[in-house]
Amino acid sequence: MRSSSLLRTLLALQHTRVLDLEFDKDALVVDVSPTWKVPRCSGCGKKRKSIYDSRVRSWRHLDLAGIKTILRYRLRRVSRKKCGVLVEKVPWAESASRYTFPMEGLVAYHAQKTDKTTVATLMRIAWRTVGEIVGRFVRREREDIGDPLDNLRRIGVDEISYRKHHQYITTVVDRDRGIVVWAAKGKNAETLKAFFEAIGPERAAKIEAVTIDMSGAYMKAVKESVPNATFIFDRFHVQRLVHDALDEVRRDEVRFASVDEKICLKKTRWPIQKRPWNLSELETAKLADLEEQNHPIYRAYLLKESLAAILDGRQINVAARKLDEWLEWARESELPAFVRVAGTIERHREGILAYVRTRLNNGRVEGVASHAQ
């Protein structure tokens, strides 16, 4: 195989010819050209035979065998009455970019997974360049999918923190496509209302379901903007309520326990928070001792497990009946922490049962939002 053919295969660029190559200091410089001869306007894409001028330009490509690779081409400028004087279109990069499409794609992928400083070091580019590349990549992806605010049916709302967790951004995720479609600073009702104003009443009316945590501000915005949408409360936040209540019961018991009772309660915090099948033999024995020696904590543990079992169910009528029974049990448990939780869950009963019916939660939403973070 000729060296030019081999190099063309390694570069993996469409509509690109390899003309020559040379080594320049620490880089491999490859002379390339488009497969078409007549230049095309980068503005409208149409062929233009009238050439205004030309100059040599270089583009950074993916490294080959660890060697920095540069594409070089004498770029022509074409003149068109409608577009003016613009550089010609090339198949390997945007007209305003000095990096090839594969290079920008790899930088954007790494930027999803780690910080900009690490990406800049790994790819051997400037820190500021990382942000510029990501901006171009996202814009191209947005063009491919069209208006991200169109055809929204099921959305998820979550907030992410930045600047040492002192500032917040509200993000809206399209659950069907798994992408962030809107984001803005703040985490109050007015912030989320701005999203519904952006999509307009006609598109807002098509939203069927909203997965959300139990934020009162977000709930207010959703109720006012899309009153017909189904509320679905995130299972994680529902279960966190009872886990926190269980922890509170244990702390109260430890605080007023005698010396002998404290010995029994030692190292019980994590076993009572786990599901039964995740317990070790030692933790199972610890839980059995707890059943005999501290009824309040064990009662709280049973309340926690019972609610998890209800949320595991698939039959909505059974879940509704069991949840009402659980609420009555929690209110009569004589555990102040669970009495409060029962009141919260009762106020959000329909949204919790909507989870049982649809099996939708905010896990995917939080996963997508974490990439934005």
Predicted confidence at residue 41, as pLDDT, reads 82
How many residues make up the chain in this entry?
A: 373
Mean pLDDT, range 60-88, rounded to an integer:
87
Asked if 68 and 28 touch (Cβ cutoff 8 Å), the reply is yes
Answer whether residue 370 is part of any domain: no
Q: Do residues 209 and 240 share a domain?
A: no
Give the pairing type, strands 67-80 and 27-34. parallel
Q: Residue 1: is its pLDDT beyond 60?
A: no
Q: Residue 119: is its pLDDT beyond 70?
A: yes
User: Among 233, 263, 289, which residue terminates a domain?
Assistant: 233
Mean pLDDT, range 223-235, rounded to an integer:
88
Answer whether residue 337 is part of any domain: yes
Instruction: Using DSSP, state whether 311 is helix, strand or coil.
Output: helix
Q: Do residues 246 and 344 share a domain?
A: yes
Number of C-alpha atoms within 13 angstroms, CB side, residue 299? 17
Predicted confidence at residue 231, as pLDDT, reads 86
Predicted confidence at residue 78, as pLDDT, reads 86
Q: Do residues 273 and 209 share a domain?
A: no
Q: Residue 68: is its pLDDT beyond 80?
A: yes
Distance of CA 309 to the CA centre of its chain: 28
Q: Do residues 141 and 248 share a domain?
A: no
Q: Do residues 312 and 244 share a domain?
A: yes
Residue 71 main-chain phi, psi, to 5 deg: -95, 140
First to last CA, the chain: 47
Q: Residue 367: is its pLDDT beyond 70?
A: no
Answer whether residue 372 is part of any domain: no
User: Among 127, 146, 165, which residue terminates a domain?
Assistant: 146
Q: Do residues 217 and 137 share a domain?
A: no
Q: Do residues 216 and 246 share a domain?
A: no
Q: What would you measure as the largest C-alpha separation in the chain, in angstroms?
A: 95
Predicted confidence at residue 371, as pLDDT, reads 61
Predicted confidence at residue 338, as pLDDT, reads 95
CA-nearest of 355, 365, 269, 265 to 307 is 355
Asked if 26 and 68 touch (Cβ cutoff 8 Å), the reply is yes
Answer whether residue 61 is part of any domain: yes
Q: Do residues 216 and 241 share a domain?
A: no
Q: Residue 253: is its pLDDT beyond 90?
A: no
Q: Return the percentage of the chain with pLDDT > 70, whole number.
A: 94
Answer whether residue 373 is part of any domain: no
Q: Which domain holds residue 42?
A: 1-95
Higher-confidence position of 54 and 4: 54
Q: Residue 370: is its pLDDT beyond 70?
A: no
Answer whether residue 371 is part of any domain: no
Predicted confidence at residue 98, as pLDDT, reads 94
Residue 86 main-chain phi, psi, to 5 deg: -135, 155
Q: Residue 162: is its pLDDT beyond 80?
A: no
User: Among 210, 233, 256, which residue terminates a domain?
Assistant: 233
Q: Residue 143: is its pLDDT beyond 80?
A: no
Sign of the Cα torsion 222, 223, 228, 229 reads: positive
Predicted confidence at residue 129, as pLDDT, reads 93
Answer whether residue 171 is part of any domain: yes
Q: What is the mean pLDDT of the chain?
A: 87
Answer whether residue 266 is part of any domain: yes
Give the separation between CA 365 and CA 34, rounded to whole angstroms: 42
CA-nearest of 144, 142, 149, 158 to 206 is 149
Predicted confidence at residue 287, as pLDDT, reads 84
Q: Considering its fold, how many domains does the chain have in total?
A: 4
Give the separation between CA 337 and CA 349, rounded to whole angstroms: 18
Measured at the alpha carbon of residue 371, what is the angle toward residues 366 and 372, in degrees to the nearest 5?
90
Residue 307: pLDDT band (50, 70, 90) is very high
* Residue carrying the six token digits 């967790």: 165
Residue 110: pLDDT band (50, 70, 90) is very high
For residue 92, the 8-state DSSP code is T
Give the separation between CA 241 and CA 337, rounded to whole angstroms: 10
Asked if 16 and 35 touch (Cβ cutoff 8 Å), the reply is yes
Mean pLDDT, range 210-239, rounded to an integer:
87
* Highest mean pLDDT, choosing among 9-18, 278-287, 318-327: 318-327
Structural element, H or E, at residue 160: strand 154-162
Predicted confidence at residue 303, as pLDDT, reads 94
Give the pairing type, strands 67-80 and 84-87. antiparallel
Least confident span in 3-12, 115-124, 265-274, 332-341? 3-12
Q: Do residues 245 and 350 share a domain?
A: yes
Mean pLDDT, range 95-118, rounded to an integer:
91
Q: Do residues 251 and 227 share a domain?
A: no
Q: Do residues 341 and 306 share a domain?
A: yes
Q: Residue 2: is its pLDDT beyond 70?
A: no
- Among the residues of the chain, which ranges form H helices? 3-11, 101-113, 116-123, 127-145, 189-204, 216-225, 235-255, 259-265, 269-273, 281-293, 295-312, 316-331, 336-347, 349-358, 363-372
Q: Do residues 293 and 321 share a domain?
A: yes
